Amino acid sequence: MDVNLYKESIKKITVWDGDGSVFGFIDSGSFMTDYIYEFYCSMEMLNDLSVSHKVSIVPGEKGIHFSRKGGHKINHAKFLIFSSNGEECLFQICLGTEIYMKDGYPFRADISVQTPDADDSPNQEAVILIHDSKYSSLDGTISLSEIKAFATDVSDFDVPKPDVEKLIFSKFPFLKFNCLISNISINSIRKNYAIERNVKQIGKFFPGSTALED
């Protein structure tokens, strides 16, 4: 992975973050490539939403900090998505934080769109949409096992929920669906399998490329 390519792209697509607090952290420390890719996908989504929505960041108890391996929502920053005039909060978007199933089991979603009133221990009823990102250092296609795993999560959370229609995307309208996003190619052989399970594969999603959808 060309880390610098992703770092520079993240900076360009977070121009709506005037003080640089969102992307600033990426310049220091040692970060796993899959985490950088996950963050890149998240910022592309938020940048697209910023065309038709007001987007703001709310620090968690740890400040402008994002979970890398799953953590309590209260500790990490989240994003609020408002109507175009900024008067109505429509959604929260959380990165890598835990959501709780009905049986109390915690689940970590790479990207989760939640209701505007979701609390700091959200359950599956508060989840509107989920995305999963998969980075691969080798050429290939999204694997069947990855599709199956994500399809199980989609089924468990019963997403997307109807409120997702309030999200307005300009460049990437496919992000209104449950997306399994990767820098490699989609699995065309398993296209119908994924679609039947409310999963949309997004391939070749990286800086300078034209994303492919199933």
57 - beta bridge partners?
A: 79
Please write down the long-range contacts of 22-25, taking CB distance under 8 Å and 24 or more positions apart: 22/57, 22/64, 24/64, 25/64, 25/65, 25/66
Q: Which residues contact 1 (CB under 8 A, 6 or more apart)?
A: 33, 36, 37, 135, 137
Instruction: Assign 172 to helix, strand or coil.
Output: coil
Write the CA distances from 13 to 19, 114, 118, 182, 207, integer angstroms.
13, 22, 27, 18, 10
CA distance 122 to 106: 10
DSSP-derived letter for residue 190 is G
Q: What does the domain layout of the chain look like in residue ranges?
A: 3-213
CB 76 within 8 Å of CB 67: yes
51 backbone φψ class: left, alpha, beta (φ>0; ψ -120 to 50): alpha
**In this structure, which amino acid lies at residue 197?**
R
CB 128 within 8 Å of CB 91: yes
Q: Which two tokens stand for residue 203?
A: 């391939």
pTM: 0.89
CB 26 within 8 Å of CB 10: yes
Query: Given this model, what pLDDT does residue 19 score?
Result: 52
CA distance 9 to 47: 11
CA distance 150 to 109: 10
Task: Give, for all 214 residues of the chain, the pLDDT tens digit.
Answer: 455 666 666 666 555 454 555 554 454 444 567 788 888 899 899 999 999 999 998 988 988 778 777 789 999 889 999 999 999 999 999 998 999 987 778 888 999 999 999 999 999 999 999 999 999 988 999 999 999 999 999 999 999 999 999 999 999 999 999 999 999 999 999 999 999 999 999 999 998 888 888 8
